Amino acid sequence: MNPTLAIVLNLVAALVVLGFLYRQQKQHASFTVRVFTALGLGVLLGAVLQGVYGAASPVLKTTGDYLDIVGSGYVKLLQMIVMPLIMVSIVAAILKLRNASSLGKISALTIGTLMVTTVIAAALGILMAKLFGLTAVGLTASEAEVARGAYLQGKLADAQALSLPSMILSFLPANPFLDMTGGRKTSTIAVVIFSVFIGIAAHGIADKKPELFVSFDHFVKVAHAIVMRIVTIVLRLTPYGVFALMTQVVATSSYADIMNLLGFVAASYSALLLMFGVHLAIVAGTGLNPFRFAKKILPVLTFAFTSRSSAGAIPMNVQTQTQRLGTPEGIANFAASFGATIGQNGCAGIYPAMLAVMIAPTVGIDPYTAAFLVPLLAVVMIGSVGVAGVGGGATFAALIVLSTMNLPVALAGLLISIEPLIDMGRTALNVSGAITAGTVTSRVMGETDLAVFDGDGDGDVDADAKAA
């Protein structure tokens, strides 16, 4: 078949699916149903395309480039609203606080939950590596894997230059306008801190210049309403983005590479699922229904799974917490923002811990001794601070852990062929951890709206869709 005609037919098939998803929206199908329909249709179309053309086909690559307009375009729209959302939501939340001690408690509970769950995730990763007998000894490297190893070796100096004090300093917004562009790996946290300063400063003029405070408060409310409306508009595009992203992932995955490293894939997803179970247990421990919690966060986890971007999931993360779980906006934004940078359970917990115990035997170290495991867990917890919530964050976390433990970092390149598949699950777990931290913090603070949590609504996305 003529390649141009093949590409046209592929795109027509994709447009038919997008049309079907649009019809679902017009018929007021629930947001959850639309997202999972998009996921299923993306898997189906991706499998058909790979079966017809093969993963390396030029036709498939060109088709993917056009699908990328929908998939990556959606992710870019989400990234567009991350910084405005964080800023106006946190400033608005602080203006509502009665005292500053609440801010300290929210921060401590959120960060504490993220750090503790990261250590638990690392322990589960180590356990699964042991049960599945994973080791890097005897693994062979292709040309691509050798190149990946050399790339990681080149990045080693950056990882070794990091220290906990330097990581903490990197959170401070020396140039808040640069951080609003997302110009640094820790820009998200820097914007949170800058927004906190604005909120506290506004509180300081409430008594001295009440007329100015009222004007500023009104401005923030207007800005907040506009930003939240933009969030709603963009989130209504979620099913289309999920479909395009999933189609590309399935169509371009190498099933042969997955089968060659099936043990690592199985061990990774076993650890991810177990850690998700830990999240549910933590939520249940606060007195909330874990099954209702799981059902309500599935759409955002689906997006995180397909997009592989913790930072890109922040708007949907916040919307899920506020509109479905009854968490106040301030806490939701803190949890989503910190969770995209600090204590990522999948990328900074499970993944580097599994790599460390796999690689240790190649240099004659028994990884299942207390002398190795205790320092490893400590390094994982500290190293999880400041991991960027974008693609590549897991690689950087692994470099920090492996270099600190004096293990050869180049061997991590042996897993490059299945990296996208593993990264999908890791990102979903990162987002689940952030939502869990927000839910726990809200519950402990006594701020959770139980009527919203116990309700069956799909949130503002569907409400607006039905009103349209």
Task: Say if residues 304 and 310 touch (Cβ distance below 8 Å).
Answer: yes
Question: Which H/E stretch holds residue 133?
Answer: none
Which runs of consecutive H residues, i.e. helices, occur in 185-261? 187-204, 210-235, 238-252, 255-260
Write down the CATH superfamily of domain 3-467: Sodium:dicarboxylate symporter (1.10.3860.10)
Task: Write the CB contacts of 255 (distance below 8 Å, at least 6 apart in sequence).
Answer: none
State the Cα–Cα distance between residues 380 and 124, nearest whole angstrom: 13
Burial class, 86, CB count within 10 angstroms (exposed 0-12 / middle 13-18 / buried 19+): buried
Domains of the chain: which residue ranges? 3-467
pLDDT value of position 333: 87
State the Cα–Cα distance between residues 40 and 14, nearest whole angstrom: 13
The DSSP result for 388-456, as a single string, is -SSTTHHHHHHHHHHHHTT--GGGGGGGGGGHHHHHHHHHHHHHHHHHHHHHHHHHHTT---HHHHHS-
Residues 311-342 as b/e (b if ≥16 CB within 10 A, e otherwise) read bbbbbbbbbbbbbbbbbbbbbbbbbbbbbbbb
The DSSP result for 50-87, as a single string, is HHHH-TT-HHHHHHHHHHHHHHHHHHHHHHHHHHHHHH
pLDDT value of position 433: 95
pLDDT value of position 317: 93
Burial class, 47, CB count within 10 angstroms (exposed 0-12 / middle 13-18 / buried 19+): middle
Task: Say if residues 17 and 45 touch (Cβ distance below 8 Å).
Answer: yes
Structure tokens at 291: 């099954």
pLDDT value of position 468: 37
Nearest alpha-carbon partner for 342 in 107, 174, 126: 107
* 320 Cα distance to chain centroid: 14
Structure tokens at 193: 């801190």
pLDDT value of position 168: 77
State the Cα–Cα distance between residues 315 and 296, nearest whole angstrom: 15
State phi, psi for 178 to the nearest 5 degrees.
Answer: -65, -45
Structure tokens at 387: 């991991």
The two counts, helices (H) then strands (E), for the chain are 21, 0
Please report, in tens digits, the pLDDT of each residue of the chain (468 residues total): 788 899 999 999 999 999 999 999 999 888 888 988 999 999 999 999 988 988 788 999 999 999 999 999 998 998 888 889 888 888 888 887 766 667 888 889 999 999 999 999 999 999 999 999 888 765 545 455 455 555 555 555 555 555 667 777 878 888 999 988 877 777 888 888 899 899 889 888 888 898 998 999 999 999 989 998 998 899 899 999 999 999 988 888 777 666 667 788 899 999 999 999 999 999 999 999 999 999 999 999 999 998 888 888 889 999 999 999 999 988 998 898 888 878 889 888 998 899 899 888 888 889 999 999 999 999 888 877 756 544 456 777 777 788 888 887 766 666 666 777 888 899 999 999 999 999 999 999 999 999 999 987 665 555 444 443
**Does pTM top 0.85 for this prediction?**
no
State the Cα–Cα distance between residues 293 and 321, nearest whole angstrom: 10
State the Cα–Cα distance between residues 419 and 415, nearest whole angstrom: 6
